[in-house]
Amino acid sequence: MSGDFIIDPRGKRDLGFLDWSPSRGMLHRVLEFVADEVEDPELAADLRDFVAGNYAFLSLSSYSEAQGAEIMRVIREKLPAAVEEWFPGDEGARQNIAELVEMVEEAEAAPSE
């Protein structure tokens, strides 16, 4: 089963459709990692609830502009190294996460509203 992570942070425009569609297990692993790394305890709790509920669709627009920015920062700055630890030498996993990081970078570079 797959998951969908829509990279559509509040406060940005002209994004097009940025949809990362990994396996649900990979989506949950990434969100658990992000929950452990964000500083906002409310955001961390919400991400953990998402994983515990076994949900498959997440949109950054569901979060405040600051929360979306924090999620994207963790993905861009910390996730690639974590994936290397989780799946050493797994080019497929590395490529999957690289796609997510590219989408995050595109969203961060988009013009503000």
Proportion of the chain above pLDDT 90, given as a percent? 94
Question: DSSP label at 25?
Answer: H
pLDDT at 13: 85
Domain ranges of the chain: 4-109
Query: Which residues face 112 on adjacent strands?
Result: 12
SS3 assignment, position 96: helix
Alpha-carbon distance of 57 to 88, in angstroms, equals 27
| Sole residue written with tokens 């969100």 | 31
User: Would you say the pTM of this structure is higher than 0.85?
Assistant: yes
Structure tokens at 96: 């999957």
Alpha-carbon distance of 47 to 34, in angstroms, equals 8
pLDDT digits (tens, 9 = 90+) for 74-102: 999 999 999 999 999 999 999 999 999 99
pLDDT digits (tens, 9 = 90+) for 21-32: 999 999 999 999
Among residues 9, 80, 5, 66, the alpha carbon closest in space to that of 38 is found at 66
Structure tokens at 82: 């974590």
Query: Which residues face 62 on adjacent strands?
Result: none
